[in-house]
Structure 1
Amino acid sequence: MSNSEAFGKEPINTLLRKQSIPSGIGILMLSIYGIVDTIFVGNYVGQLGIAAITVVIPITFLISSIGMGIGIGGASIISRALGAGKPSKANHTLGNQLTATFALGILFCVLGFVFIEPMLKLFGAKGDILGPTVEYFSIILIGIPVLAFSMMSNNVIRAVGYPKVAMVVMVVPAIVNMILDPILIVYFNMGIEGAAWATTGSYFMSATYAAYFFISGKAGIKLSLKDLVPSSSINKEMFSIGSVTFVRQGVVSLLFLVLNNSLFKYGGESSIAVYGIINRMMMLVNVPALGITQGSMPIVGYNFGAKLWKRVRLTLRNAIIAGTIISASIYALIMIFTPQIIRIFTDDISLINETVPALRTVFLATPLIALQLISSAYYQAIGKSRSALLLTLTKQGFFLIPLLLILPSIYELNGIWVSFPIADISSAIVCISYLLYDQKRILIQQKAPNSIQTA
């Protein structure tokens, strides 16, 4: 039995553990390296360094989400193709992913250099923040194409049944970054540039490992030159599904644009630094939900392709339950030890005092995140891009951005922080209502066991 065939035969909870734990470890390592990066910058560069990284993060994610979107879109096709016994389609899909990832990654890298200052100013790099932000981002841009390749590869590797290899693709850059940070930032006293080169170097190492895995032939996907030739049908489906991820990141980047400008208006540079710390902690708290989300996608996709509808629904249910329980447990620890956690990032007493209540407010409804992430990913996995897009846009697009435009004008800085839990609760209500309605509709339509409507 091949790695991918196990998706249709092994117990769902066993598969979720096998897929989600490596994925969660990989995301955890990425979160830790982001936290370590912020710790070094905060302690050896200062408040402006944290603010600079905070401004650059959404832009980097927006550009690199090209690879993530192509990866998720193609992985969905590959999972369903393998489940349906169509390996040639899987091969052709991977070839198209490679062509699209590098073409678009290089294009956006060039555009980033051309419009670097206007872009950074738009995202909140104002006043004293602009200088270090330009220094940092101009180096980060160099690694964008290979970062896009790593993100694309990660999803494909998981789709073909190698979650531990996918984990290593994420762990490698984390380890490299944590090794290079003290060397470049502290020993060579390179400051914010050292942080940028450490991050960029980690991107290249991750891409190298992913490329080695594909070249070794372990993936079970054999590429030929003809597979690299774009196929209109594959690209249409791939970009339709993957566009959900790109739109999600686009909305997140728009969120940061609105957020950073509001923070600067109502709290200045220090408030942007506060959110930089909150954002790093948010990445850490969301690790279980993200790991289970990524782990569930290839299981759902394969079983959908194999028309094993009960396994599809069981995967969805168990993933949501597990993600919510684990997220709630971690959330409780974060809320209890908030001051101690903040002191890891900075010894600035005023910054600590400002961050503690803000973090607790932002995190109030964090356990509901799993429901939002998994429900959207479920529809991506089965190829229903419209439903996935709808649920993807609920938190940031439908609720958080409008709240950030309205509440600060009434409650100033507190209005920014309280917008987050309100958006989390509102989007969770939309997601669960949509899922319950859709699953009820599916069960009503399920007259024949082989009907595709039962998916």
Structure 2
Amino acid sequence: MKKQDERLGTEPIGRLIVSMAVPAVAAQIINVLYNIVDRIYIGHIAGYGDLALTGVGVTFPILMAIAAFSAFAGMGGAPLASIQLGKKDVEGAEQILGNSVGLLLGFSVVLTIVLSIYKVPILYAFGASDKTIGYAVDYVGIYLMGTIFVELAVGLNTFISGQGASRTAMLSVLIGAVINIVLDPILIFGFDMGVKGAALATIISQAVSAAWAIRFLTSEKSVIRIRRKFIRLRGKTVAGITALGVAPFIMQSTESLVSITLNSGLQRYGGDLYVGTMSIMTSVMQLIVVPVQGISQGVQPIISYNFGAGNLERVRMAFRRMIAVCLTGTVILAGIAVLFPQIYAGIFTDNAKLTELTCEAMRIYFLGITVFGVQMACQSTFLALGEAKVSLFIALLRKVLLLIPLAVILPRFIGVMGIYYAEPLADFISVTVTGALFIRTWRKILRKDINSDMISEAK
């Protein structure tokens, strides 16, 4: 009987992509429900739901910062481990897995301590007002106590899908999400805990997901296992993880920086109601981007494994199909937000003024996301092939070099609506540059010696 990782190099590409991408998409959608379900319930709390929703919205940069560190270790290590599996080097893959676990544990301790101490001034800097700071502190104060569960649940799941066990990876997320959805109304309304109940439901569910991931990666069902001897950090291995992990880290962490810039600008030029629109649109953005991201993450192990095995034709086939599906996904999902924004806005609030303003902003904000599937497919392919420098540039381009400056400059000339216009401008420019860069470097990448220094050092 074939090992589950070997099918990455032998199974027909079309069927393989479906079997890998569908569970990955489901896992991503389920994962995003953690925050979105919280916000749906919070937004409908009688009497203060709109303020509570805004308060929880300004905690988003902190949640993204925590996710960024899990992406650093997980998405930095998993592609390298997949490449090593393609080369039949199981011990090398386990060395990478073990060091990633060590990094996740270290990050958890530091983040919990630092963010707990400085959460109040951080939240004010992120756009909280005197009316919303109490809700923000209540939510994030409890959430931070479960940082270790978030780090392990999200970071380790990439190593499960990276060895071809996409259904197991999906179940890891599904179990936690179901628990969260069940606990939310019980704790928020039944025990009258409000936003504290939403945070507690989230960390309990993440703890269960983390336990599931650890159990699988220490069992005989896993191709690679967590072994104590490999958890101790090794310089060369960490360097390999860092080289590849810095791009997804920046992608995630700059979401925090973007959120800070947008929320503070909206608070300055508009007020709490405008910050509330961004809280809703951040959730809608996840509903659009995350399913497509699941497709790219599902295909990524296929590209990494076959690149490591030297089967470049399968690499090409996988990429061509991925970019077609990713682009179709963003066109449809973002198109709904542009043409029928009330479908999304009505999910999160009953406030008529907030709904009206959100619909107006959404028609502008999501226009560029319609073509963003191109960038997501190209970025994921660069990452799968171990192209750390190119991935890093693309990660910096859209958010740091384009979106943040535009969000600061435009409202000075056209007012608060300039903040919303910054997003589509940054998207269109970034997609154009990324596509041109990919076309220029694609053939060069596939001609490279797969025994690159970075991969060798990660062993």
TM over 0.5: yes
Report the number of matched residues. Answer: 450
Match of 1:28 in 2: 29
SS at match of 1:407: helix
Q: Distance in 1 between matches of 2:397 and 2:73?
A: 22
The answer as to whether partners of 1:123 and 1:260 remain within 8 angstroms in 2 is yes
2:170 is the counterpart of 1:170 = no
The answer as to whether partners of 1:263 and 1:413 remain within 8 angstroms in 2 is yes
- Mark the CA change 1:250 to 1:222 in structure 2 (over 3 Å): closer, same or farther: closer
Q: Distance in 1 between matches of 2:450 and 2:138?
A: 57
SS at match of 2:208: helix
2:420 is the counterpart of 1:417 = yes
The answer as to whether partners of 2:5 and 2:223 remain within 8 angstroms in 1 is no
CA deviation vs aligned residue, 1:107-134 (integer Å, no higher than 9, x gap): 1111111212122122122321211111
Shift of 1:344: 2.3
The answer as to whether partners of 1:92 and 1:227 remain within 8 angstroms in 2 is yes
- Mark the CA change 1:225 to 1:196 in structure 2 (over 3 Å): closer, same or farther: closer
SS at match of 1:2: coil
Shift of 1:441: 4.1
Shift of 1:293: 1.2
Give the AA of the match of 2:244: I
Give the AA of the match of 1:367: T
Among residues 437, 441, 447, which one is paired with 2:440 in the alignment?
437
Identity of aligned residues (%): 30
Q: Distance in 2 between matches of 1:302 and 1:441?
A: 19
Give the AA of the match of 1:102: L
Give the AA of the match of 2:145: I
2:170 is the counterpart of 1:179 = no
- Mark the CA change 1:224 to 1:212 in structure 2 (over 3 Å): closer, same or farther: closer
The answer as to whether partners of 1:64 and 1:144 remain within 8 angstroms in 2 is no
- Mark the CA change 1:451 to 1:225 in structure 2 (over 3 Å): closer, same or farther: closer
Shift of 1:211: 1.6
Shift of 1:342: 1.6
Shift of 1:321: 0.9
Give the AA of the match of 1:135: D
Shift of 1:74: 1.1
CA deviation vs aligned residue, 1:292-351 (integer Å, no higher than 9, x gap): 111121111101111111211222221111111122123333334322432222111111
Q: Distance in 1 between matches of 2:217 and 2:133?
A: 40
Shift of 1:417: 0.9
Shift of 1:165: 1.0
Among residues 188, 194, 199, which one is paired with 1:196 in the alignment?
199
The answer as to whether partners of 1:64 and 1:145 remain within 8 angstroms in 2 is no
Relative to the length of structure 2, the TM-score reads 0.94
2:66 is the counterpart of 1:60 = no
Match of 1:6 in 2: 7
Q: Distance in 1 between matches of 2:294 and 2:225?
A: 28
Give the AA of the match of 1:433: A
Relative to the length of structure 1, the TM-score reads 0.95
Q: Distance in 2 between matches of 1:442 and 1:24?
A: 27
The answer as to whether partners of 1:376 and 1:389 remain within 8 angstroms in 2 is no
- Deviates most, 171-180 or 395-404: 171-180
Shift of 1:452: 6.9
Match of 1:335 in 2: 338
Match of 1:290 in 2: 293
- Deviates most, 240-249 or 430-439: 240-249
Give the AA of the match of 1:407: L
Among residues 257, 275, 280, which one is paired with 1:277 in the alignment?
280
2:307 is the counterpart of 1:304 = yes
The answer as to whether partners of 1:23 and 1:294 remain within 8 angstroms in 2 is yes
Q: Distance in 2 between matches of 1:272 and 1:342?
A: 14
Q: Distance in 2 between matches of 1:439 and 1:193?
A: 49
Match of 2:231 in 1: 228
Q: Distance in 1 between matches of 2:107 and 2:384?
A: 23
